[in-house]
Amino acid sequence: MRCLKSGRGEYGRPVSRERRTKGTIAMLVREFLRKAPVTVPPQCSLEEAARLMGHHAVGALLVISGDELVGIVTDRDIAVRGVGAGRPSTTSVDDVMTEHLVTIEGSADILEAYRVLKSAGVRRLPVLEAGELGGIVTVDDLLVAIVLELAAVVSPVASEVLLPEISE
């Protein structure tokens, strides 16, 4: 069976880069969704799942049955629970996937995403928009975003401190 790729739809209006909560500016989880998630049905083979991961340069696939998110399969699942456990490459991803996922709403603040990632002990969070799959956000995505935000804030100050003769 050929595995499927699906993605999140476009929303009819642009999403603000920030919102206010309790006097502070918050960044929303949906702002860190870089590309549409790659999904597969539960009966997708480990071999095809690995091929999709390589083709789309992702480390995890969301497993969808009908319209329902039923699991996630990672490159590590395939390596350790699949091939490493002696299973053939024709094994279905539902035999090695993680079920009972922890998810987050796209409207949540990224600080909440950090808390959820830490408390659940996971590296990836499927993101829901009004109950529908919107994407996936990873620890790496959030870390890179925070580093870029800090760089943008520090950049003018760094120029003045490191190159004072140019700034004047």
Q: How far is it, in rounded angstroms, from Cα 27 to Cα 18?
A: 5
> What residue ranges of the chain have pLDDT lower than 70?
1-25, 163-168
Where are any strands of DSSP class E within 34-156? 39-40, 60-65, 68-74, 104-105, 124-129, 132-138
Where are any strands of DSSP class E within 14-113? 19-21, 24-26, 39-40, 60-65, 68-74, 104-105
Residue 10 lies in a domain: no
Residue 151 lies in a domain: yes
Residue 92 lies in a domain: yes
Residue 119 lies in a domain: yes
pLDDT at 147: 86
Q: Strand 60-65 vs strand 68-74: parallel, antiparallel, or unpaired? A: antiparallel
Q: Are 98 and 77 in contact (CB under 8 A)?
A: yes
Q: Which domain holds residue 125?
A: 19-167
pLDDT at 142: 86
Residue 9 lies in a domain: no
pLDDT at 75: 96
130: left (phi over 0), alpha (psi -120 to 50) or beta: left
- CATH code for position 140: 3.10.580.10
Residue 153 lies in a domain: yes
- The domain tally of the chain equals 1
> Of 53, 56, 55, 90, which Cα lies nearest the Cα of 74?
53
To the question of pTM greater than 0.95 for the whole model, the response is no
Structure tokens that stand for 94 in this block: 């539902």
pLDDT at 69: 95
pLDDT at 115: 94
Residue 5 lies in a domain: no
